[in-house]
């Protein structure tokens, strides 16, 4: 698996962990705090939305960092 796939998987399992894996600590903490709020606040209806959005953003951010790393090196 590539780095973006790992970030997406981690963030899908526990939202925010993929962002922390990418080195984005504040983004990770944001998702770790917001997702449980959506699970509780909406009775579970929007919790899955947060899981999916967190996974997609972790994947996209990892791809961007990977492209930048390849371009610079």
**Span of 1-5, 14-18, 28-32, 55-59 with lowest mean pLDDT:** 1-5
Mean pLDDT calculated for residue range 15-27: 93
Which of 23, 22, 21, 17 shows the shortest CA–CA distance to 54? 17
Closest to 12 in 3D by CA, of 64, 60, 53, 65: 53
Alpha helices in the chain (DSSP H): 3-13, 17-21, 25-41, 47-72
Residue 65, pLDDT score? 85
CA dihedral sign, ordered 29, 12, 19, 44: negative
Any domain includes 72: no
The number of domains in the chain is 1
pLDDT surpasses 90 at 17: yes
- With bands split at pLDDT 50, 70 and 90, how would you rate the model's confidence at 55? very high
Q: Is residue 18 one of the residues assigned to a domain?
A: yes
Burial class (CB in 10 A: 0-12, 13-18, 19+), 39: middle
26 located within any domain: yes
Task: Answer yes or no: is 28 within a domain.
Answer: yes
> Considering the domain boundaries, does residue 40 fall inside one?
yes
Residue 1 has pLDDT above 50, yes or no: no
């Amino acid at each position: 698996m590539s780095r973006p796939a790992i970030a997406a998987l981690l963030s899908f399992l526990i939202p925010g962990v993929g962002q922390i894996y990418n080195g984005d600590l504040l983004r990770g903490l944001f998702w770790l705090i917001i997702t449980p709020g959506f699970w509780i606040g909406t009775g579970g209806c929007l919790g899955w939305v947060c899981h999916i959005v967190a996974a997609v953003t972790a994947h996209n951010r990892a791809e961007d960092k990977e492209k930048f790393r390849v371009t610079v090196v």
